[in-house]
Amino acid sequence: MILMYHKVDLISPTRWWVSAATFAKQMDALKGREVVYLADYDPRSDRQCVITFDDAYENIHRHALPILRERSLPFEVFINGDFLGRWNHADRVEPLTRYCGLEQVDELAAHGARIQWHTISHPNLTALDATDVDCEISIPEIFGFGFRNRT
C-alpha cells in the first residue's frame, strides 16, 4: 500500500487536504504494518506501507512532521524545484498555501524523509519534447542534495 498526501493542516478545505487529527489517526492505524521507503517497498507484501507527500507543502513540515517523528515513521517527499518557498498561486481552485523552503526540506530529511525529485516546474510531461522533458527531470546542481536523504 502506498499512501499519498498533499496537504496536512488543522482543517481540510478540499479533498487534497487532510486534518492533522485525521492524519494522526491514520498513522496510528498503521501499527502492525511495516512502513518503509519506496526503495524498500515490495508491492506483493500486504504488510508493507509507504507514506508519500506530493509537492512538499509547508504544512507537511508544520503538521505532519511532528506526527511522523513521534511515531518514528519513514516517509517520502516529492519536491518541485521552482516551487520551493513559493505560494501555490497557479493552483487557482485550492486555498493559497506555501511550499516548503530548502531549510524545511532539510529538516524533513533530517527527521526521516527521503527527498524525491518531482520535476522543476510540474508541467504536463506529455506536452513537452524530449529536450524539455530532460530539463524537467534533471536535478539542477544548485540543489546539491547535500541535505537530502540522511537516513
Mean pLDDT by 10 residues, the chain (151 residues): 96 95 98 96 96 95 98 94 84 90 92 81 66 64 52 40
For 39-60, write each residue's pLDDT tens digit: 999 999 999 999 999 989 999 9
Residue 118 · residue 137 · CB < 8 Å: no
Pairwise CA distance, residues 34 & 48, whole Å? 5
Total Cβ atoms within 10 A of residue 143 = 17
Query: Which structural domains are found in the chain, ordered by start?
Result: 2-143 (3.20.20.370)
Tell me how far apart the alpha carbons of residues 83 and 100 are, in angstroms, rounded to a whole number.
8
pLDDT number for residue 148: 46
Q: C-alpha distances in angstroms, 59 versus 1, 51, 55, 100?
A: 23, 16, 11, 8
Three cell numbers, residue 120: 522543476
Element (H, E) at 25: helix 20-28
Separation between Cα atoms, residue 56 and residue 35, nearest integer Å: 20
Q: Compute CA 136 distance to the chain's CA centroid, rounded to the nearest angstrom.
A: 18
Q: Model-level pTM?
A: 0.85
In this prediction, residue 116 carries a pLDDT of: 84
- Containing 53, the helix (H) or strand (E) segment is strand 48-54
